[in-house]
Amino acid sequence: MNPFEQLSVYFQFPFVRYALIVGVLIALCSSLLGVTLVLKRFSFIGDGLSHVAFGAMAVAAVAGLTNQMIVVLPVTVLAAVLLLQSGSKAKLKGDAAVAMISVSALAIGYLLMNLFPTSSNVAADVCTTLFGSTSILTLSSWEVWLSVGLSVLVVAIFVLFYNKIFAVTFDETYAKATGTKTDLYNLLIAVVIAVVIVLAMNLVGSLLISALIIFPALSAMRIFKNFLAVTVFSAAVSVLAAGVGILLSILFSTPVGPSVVGIDLVVFGICWAIGAITGRRKKA
Amino acid sequence: MAQIIATDLVVGYQTPLTPPLDFCIDKGEYWVIIGQNGSGKTTTLKTLLGLIKPYGGSLTMGGGLDKTKLGYLPQQTEVQRDFPASVYEVVLSGCLSKMGLRPFYNKTERQLARDNISKLGLSDLAKRPYRELSGGQQQRVLLARALCATDSLLVLDEPVAGLDPATTDEMYRLVKGLNQEGVTIVMISHDVDQALADCTHVLKLGKETFVGTVEQYEESRTKEEADHESV
Ligand SMILES: Nc1ncnc2c1ncn2[C@@H]1O[C@H](COP(=O)(O)OP(=O)(O)OP(=O)(O)O)[C@@H](O)[C@H]1O
Ligand SMILES: [Mg+2]
């Protein structure tokens, strides 16, 4: 059987189709937010939140909830809001607070999973949550719809607030001085990031989320030098990488998350090379 | 019509930088803030803009002015070195405060951005990345952004710092023109003579503060010189 026949067989299974749709949508959302995250130097918040999401997931699993998103989503959103507040206001330095919260969440999550094992193979459970090995292929139809709904919401928010997000990201002081409610938009960005992270846990697991969010943006910034082009290109790259990554992982039965991130990494390498070559040619 | 009213206004961070100041900026006036480095000029502007709280006293906006109607040229912008944004994108973002809840810029706003770009001689650079411009060019871009935003009040923090003589003259002409069109100007300048030629009011910070019209200021200056000579 050639790979195409093989794929068309796989595509007869609804869960494979769902995985592809949801995966691509998640990749789209995360890349859109990625540009802002990188430029605002918020990457560390993304990383911290993914650990919080892991902790919440562990608690939900221990509590025996079948519908874990109900716990994970609000907890992560709340953490995002708190982190943002602490980063801007409190004496505690932003990044120290993030490190503290994220490491604690990671430790407590792992501890809980060991103390109250929900299956005989704790190591595999933990691995799944950290690397998302198969979660995207085992989504319930409820989770599929929730993911699709949230993804559409995230994309809509991003498009509608694109100009405001640009202004707040480019020069927050100026935006604030001329009457833009920067605190509100920062909050919006944080909440959307939290939603994206919870969604992305299904695709790549909590350890690789940062890569999914940041790589496409970094790739685009290597080549393009205006905001619109960077946003569009990173969305395209991310969607492509997710699509190809998921298909490859189905064909070669590799874990989904690392496959997608692997493709992202390859694309980054290519973009880096293109950027280096064109940059040098300009100078010459 | 009073646009900004300061009552016993003291600006500062942990410590006060100025004595209590009382002044009232009316529509159509041209204020210049002078004083040596570190005397609190930028701090005063930031207080007027609501970016920092007054150390003491109070500050009110009136006469139909609100923050969305003012343009601002900061002394320094903390834009990251690798930020991907074209000149056009940056200038257009000045129209943001006009937009309210509308998500996208309309034709008039895009045209306004293009007009201001050519007004400041940036047409050839419109598509270039902002971060690859020279300091003076970046300053002009930020000024074009401020021009997009302003309807009634333009706040400028050392607008000519780093500009070449020709652009500096053009800059002063532009600000004066806007003022004649009815835009209120509040500008920080080290170029005292040039500034005094155009302005209507002076706020001097530093060891000796002064608030009043430019005529009063000239008067107090000649008196001071006379005092010096008689000593
Ligand atoms: N964020 C800050 N926190 C605490 N003190 C500050 C801060 N920014 C400035 N200062 C202090 O306030 C004083 C006034 O600073 P300001 O920037 O207002 O001076 P300036 O009059 O604009 O000077 P320049 O002509 O150099 O622009 C300085 O002594 C400075 O050290
Ligand atoms: Mg200053």
* Residue A95: per-residue pLDDT: 65
Residue in B12, B4, B5 with CA at minimum distance from that of residue B55: B12
B169-176 average pLDDT score: 86
- Whether B70 is in a domain gets the answer no
Nearest C-alpha in A relative to B142: A174
- Whether B202 is in a domain gets the answer yes
Work out the minimum CA distance from A189 to partner chain B, whole angstroms: 16
**Cβ of residue B230 closer than 8 Å to a chain A Cβ:** no
- Cβ–Cβ gap A179/B67 under 8 Å: yes
Write the residue in B68, B89, B132 that is nearest to A166 by C-beta: B89
Residues of A within 8 A of B70 (CB-CB) are 177-179
In the predicted structure, residue A217 carries a pLDDT above the cut 90: yes
Side-chain half-sphere of B76: how many Cα atoms within 13 Å? 4
Number of CB atoms found within 10 A of residue B225's CB: 10
B161 and B217: one domain?
Answer: yes
Amino acid at A48: G
- Cβ–Cβ gap A167/B93 under 8 Å: yes
- Whether B82 is in a domain gets the answer yes
In the predicted structure, residue A125 carries a pLDDT above the cut 50: yes
Task: Quickly state the pLDDT bin for A91 (edges 50, 70, 90).
Answer: very low
- Whether B205 is in a domain gets the answer yes
B29-36 average pLDDT score: 92
* Residue A86: per-residue pLDDT: 62
* Number of domains, chain B: 2
B46-63 average pLDDT score: 88
In the predicted structure, residue A280 carries a pLDDT above the cut 90: no
B143-157 average pLDDT score: 89
* Residue A161: per-residue pLDDT: 93
Percent of chain B with pLDDT over 90: 40
- Whether B21 is in a domain gets the answer yes
Residue in A227, A241, A225 with CA at minimum distance from that of residue A167: A227
Q: Which of residues 63-122 of A touch B (CB under 8 A)?
A: none
Q: Which residue has the higher pLDDT, A128 or B120?
A: B120
- pLDDT tens, residue by residue, A128-159: 667 665 667 777 788 888 889 999 999 999 99
B111-122 average pLDDT score: 91
B143 and B158: one domain?
Answer: no
In the predicted structure, residue A92 carries a pLDDT above the cut 50: no
B88 and B137: one domain?
Answer: yes
Task: Quickly state the pLDDT bin for A282 (edges 50, 70, 90).
Answer: low
In the predicted structure, residue B136 carries a pLDDT above the cut 60: yes
Residues around ion ligand 2, judged by CB within 5 A, are B 41-42, 75
Ligand 2 centroid distance, CA of B41 (Å): 5
Beta strands in A48-102 (DSSP E): none
Ligand 1 neighbour B45 (Cβ under 6 A): no
Work out the minimum CA distance from B166 to partner chain A, whole angstroms: 27
Ligand 1 neighbour B38 (Cβ under 6 A): yes
- Whether B172 is in a domain gets the answer no
What is the rounded CA–CA span in Å between residue B203 and residue A244? 64
Number of CB atoms found within 10 A of residue B204's CB: 21
ipTM given for this complex: 0.86
Percent of chain A with pLDDT over 70: 88
* Torsion angle, alpha carbons of A29, A35, A37, A38, to 10: 140
B15 and B120: one domain?
Answer: no
A173-186 average pLDDT score: 88
Ligand 1 neighbour B76 (Cβ under 6 A): no
In the predicted structure, residue A88 carries a pLDDT above the cut 70: no
Residue nearest to atom 26 of ligand 1 (CA): B37
Secondary structure (3-state) at A39: helix
The full 3-state SS of chain B, as one line of letters, equals CEEEEEEEEECECCCECCCCEEEEEECCCEEEEECCCCCCHHHHHHHHCCCCCCCEEEEEECCCCCHHHEEEECCCCCCCCCCCCEHHHHHHHHHHHHHCCCCCCCHHHHHHHHHHHHHCCCHHHCCCEHHHCCHHHHHHHHHHHHHHHCCCEEEEECCCCCCCHHHHHHHHHHHHHHHHCCCEEEEECCCHHHHHHHCCEEEECCCCCEEEEHHHHHHHHHHHHHHHHHC
- Cβ–Cβ gap A225/B129 under 8 Å: yes
Q: Residue A184 belongs to a domain with what CATH number?
A: 1.10.3470.10
Rounded to two decimals, the pTM is 0.85
Q: Residue B228 belongs to a domain with what CATH number?
A: 3.40.50.300
B52 and B160: one domain?
Answer: yes
What is the rounded CA–CA span in Å between residue A100 and residue B188? 44
In the predicted structure, residue B189 carries a pLDDT above the cut 70: yes
- Whether B71 is in a domain gets the answer no
Supply the range of the domain harboring residue A26: 3-283
Supply the range of the domain harboring residue B89: 76-151
Ligand 1 neighbour B16 (Cβ under 6 A): no
* Residue A31: per-residue pLDDT: 92
Residue nearest to atom 29 of ligand 1 (CA): B38
* Number of domains, chain A: 1
B89 Cβ neighbours under 8 A, 6+ residues apart:
A166, A226, A227, A228, B130
B91 and B147: one domain?
Answer: yes
B97 and B60: one domain?
Answer: no
Ligand 1 neighbour B35 (Cβ under 6 A): yes
**Cβ of residue A224 closer than 8 Å to a chain B Cβ:** yes
- Whether B124 is in a domain gets the answer yes
